[in-house]
């Protein structure tokens, strides 16, 4: 398994508070305070660990969630990921192909690879194979 860099040591942290108002179904005006975390870091993911996810899961939503949990160990605290993670074209093609095969097996009545197209990662040609660049997320402030 590829050793993950220590995110806290490598990341630049900038936080700002955001107030997001909303209207409840009852018509009552409410709001929540969120903390915007602006970090930027690049990690390596283990291709064998990624391949295991395609074996362990049978639903595309679980699979996408598991991929994001590899990148964000504190995923349960995150309200929103602000930008898609970035990978290079080779890794993107590999994962896209895996999602297409996965969907053909587990979800034959849907567009193969559709979940990857909607929630998968973006491309950055400056990254190496299996490098993932991550930046920005929002956590709910307690």
Residues 90-108 have a mean pLDDT of 93
What integer pLDDT is reported at residue 22 of this predicted model? 47
> In terms of residue numbers, what domain contains 106?
41-134
Tell me how far CA of residue 11 lies from CA of 39, 82, 96, 133, 135, in angstroms.
Answer: 6, 16, 28, 11, 9
| Residue 90's pLDDT band (cuts 50, 70, 90) | very high
| Residue 33's pLDDT band (cuts 50, 70, 90) | low
Residues 53-80 have a mean pLDDT of 89
Q: Is residue 27 in a domain?
A: no
133: exposed, middle or buried (Cβ count in 10 Å: 0-12, 13-18, 19+)? buried
Q: Is residue 28 in a domain?
A: no
Number of structural domains in the chain = 1
112 token code pair: 């193969």
Q: Is residue 109 in a domain?
A: yes
Q: Is residue 49 in a domain?
A: yes
CA-to-CA distance for 122 and 91, rounded, in angstroms? 10
| Residue 140's pLDDT band (cuts 50, 70, 90) | low
CA-to-CA distance for 16 and 35, rounded, in angstroms? 6
> Where is 125: in which H helix or E strand?
none
| 40 contact partners, CB below 8 Å, separation of at least 6 | 11, 12, 133, 134, 135, 136
The partner residues of 134 in beta bridges, in order of sequence, read 41
Q: Is residue 85 in a domain?
A: yes
Residues 56-72 have a mean pLDDT of 92
Is a pLDDT exceeding 60 seen at residue 30?
no
CB 115 within 8 A of CB 64: yes
CA-to-CA distance for 94 and 116, rounded, in angstroms? 11
Residues 105-124 have a mean pLDDT of 90
Average pLDDT, the chain: 78
Residues 76-92 have a mean pLDDT of 87
Q: Is residue 128 in a domain?
A: yes
Q: Is the pTM of this model over 0.85?
A: no
What integer pLDDT is reported at residue 9 of this predicted model? 38
């Amino acid at each position: 398994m590829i050793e993950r860099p220590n995110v806290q040591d490598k990341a630049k942290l900038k936080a700002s508070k955001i107030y997001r108002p909303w209207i409840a179904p009852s018509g009552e005006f409410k709001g929540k305070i969120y903390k915007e975390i602006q970090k930027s870091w690049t990690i390596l993911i283990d291709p064998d660990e990624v391949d295991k996810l395609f074996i362990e899961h049978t639903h595309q939503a679980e699979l996408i969630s598991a991929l994001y949990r590899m990148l964000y160990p504190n995923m349960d605290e995150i309200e929103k990921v602000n930008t898609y993670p970035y990978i290079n074209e080779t890794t993107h093609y590999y994962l896209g192909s895996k999602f297409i095969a996965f969907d053909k097996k587990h979800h034959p009545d849907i567009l193969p690879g559709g979940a990857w197209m909607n929630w998968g990662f973006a491309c950055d040609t400056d990254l190496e194979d299996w490098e993932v660049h991550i930046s920005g997320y929002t956590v709910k402030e307690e």
